[in-house]
């Protein structure tokens, strides 16, 4: 997906590796992941004519 989603994920992962756990960033990451999964599901369904 877009570089923004990847950048967010990599930033959170790096912070976590440094011992910095930001609850709000993880919540944002979860929302982004849900949006991506929802968009993938919608795209798959439209390709199958559902």
For the stretch 12-35, pLDDT in tens is 999 999 999 999 999 999 999 999
Contact 32, 8 (CB under 8 A): yes
Cβ atoms within 10 A of the Cβ of 28, count?
Answer: 13
Looking at residue 50, the DSSP 8-state letter turns out to be -
| Residue 2: predicted pLDDT | 62
At residue 6, does pLDDT exceed 80?
A: yes
Which structure tokens are listed for 16? 């976590």
Which structure tokens are listed for 33? 């992941």
């Amino acid at each position: 997906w877009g570089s923004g989603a990847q950048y967010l994920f990599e930033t959170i992962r790096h912070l976590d590796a440094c011992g910095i756990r930001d609850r709000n960033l993880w919540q944002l990451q979860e929302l982004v992941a849900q949006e991506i999964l929802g968009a993938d599901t919608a795209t798959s369904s439209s390709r199958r004519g559902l």
